[in-house]
Amino acid sequence: MLSFLEITPDKLARIIGTPNAPTIIDVRIDDDFGIDPRRIPGSIRRDFRQVTEWGPMVSSPAIVLCQRGQKLGHGVAAHLRTMGTEAEVLEGGFEAWRDGKGILVPEDRLPPRDTKGRTVWVTRSRPKIDRIACPWLIRRFIDPSAIFLFVPASEVELVADRFSATPFDIEGVTWSHRGELCTFDVMIEEFGLTSEALLRLATIVRGADTARPELAPEVAGLLAVSLGLSRMFNDDLEQLEAGLTIYDAFYRWCRDATDETHNWPNQRKG
């Protein structure tokens, strides 16, 4: 029986990808992680033995997962609650998530992190579509703490080298266009984020980013909003923050509202 200290995989799956998603902490031991080195989207790895050291820095609320949702998960969650953090345990742990076909991100596809535990990405300044969509995907499904550097196109690779950042959406790097696919498509594929909602969103992004409005009716809307945003902001980071909300809305439409219509005014009797 599920206790009030646990959350089901189905409920967690509905929360992941939303702007108010909890902090997800993976405390599996190294042996278990080595057998299946994949992560629940947005999760961070922590050593359960050092919970008193990293625990005070955890944002509330938090979800803790171990291999089966037993002693390690509940012990860490209990410690976090003594520190004032709302903490639940994933029912059944990693095994329940995996067996339920939950999305899992391969560890070997994740970039290195800086001294603060963040992934660092760099791309061209003045973003329009891919360079807003990709940061949204990373923040919501890969690394909520990721930071993004926007620099002149000619400096992207040099900045990447000097500052140990991962370049994206420029020619000649891993995270870029491939054939007819845009960078957002490539990240969806490489990170294993192939849910129906994300694949639907990827089609819209691809159409807007590669001038193919025939791919989906929503392409024209995304293109219009993206170009409008680029003219509203001089600061790329301010534009990014505004753009995240746009992609949050598109994602929720792709996931929950594709069959919904809106008619006004309602027909009135007489």
Q: How confident is the model over 104-133, as a mean pLDDT?
A: 96
pLDDT above 90 covers what percent of the chain? 94
Residue 103 and residue 41 in contact, taking contact as beta carbons nearer than 8 Å: yes
39-60 b/e (C-beta count within 10 Å ≥ 16 → b): bbbbbbebebeebeeebeebee
Q: Is residue 265 over pLDDT 90?
A: no
Q: Is residue 186 over pLDDT 70?
A: yes
* Domain range annotation of the chain: 6-107, 110-257
Report residue 2's pLDDT band, with 50, 70 and 90 as the boundaries: low
Q: How confident is the model over 231-245, as a mean pLDDT?
A: 97
Residue 67 and residue 38 in contact, taking contact as beta carbons nearer than 8 Å: no
Burial class (CB in 10 A: 0-12, 13-18, 19+), 180: exposed
Residue 4 and residue 89 in contact, taking contact as beta carbons nearer than 8 Å: no
What is the pLDDT at residue 262?
Answer: 83
Question: Residue 9 is encoded by which pair of tokens?
Answer: 């995989």
Nearest to 4, CA basis, from 87, 84, 68: 87
Into which CATH architecture does domain 6-107 fall? 3-Layer(aba) Sandwich (3.40)
Report which DSSP code applies to 146.
-
pLDDT tens digits along 33-76: 999 999 999 999 999 999 999 999 999 999 999 999 999 999 99
Q: How confident is the model over 79-89, as a mean pLDDT?
A: 97
How does the average pLDDT of the chain come out, rounded?
Answer: 95
Place of tokens 């042996």: 31
What is the rounded CA–CA span in Å between residue 252 and residue 197?
8
Report residue 248's pLDDT band, with 50, 70 and 90 as the boundaries: very high
What is the pLDDT at residue 268?
Answer: 62
Report residue 267's pLDDT band, with 50, 70 and 90 as the boundaries: low
What is the pLDDT at residue 269?
Answer: 61
Q: Is residue 122 over pLDDT 60?
A: yes
What is the pLDDT at residue 104?
Answer: 97
What is the pLDDT at residue 134?
Answer: 98
Report residue 3's pLDDT band, with 50, 70 and 90 as the boundaries: low
pLDDT tens digits along 137-168: 999 999 999 999 999 999 999 999 999 999 99
Nearest to 202, CA basis, from 219, 214, 221, 227: 219
The alpha-carbon radius of gyration of the chain (Å, integer) is 20
Q: How confident is the model over 18-25, as a mean pLDDT?
A: 95
Q: How confident is the model over 246-255, as a mean pLDDT?
A: 97
Q: How confident is the model over 99-104, as a mean pLDDT?
A: 96
pTM recorded for the entire structure: 0.94
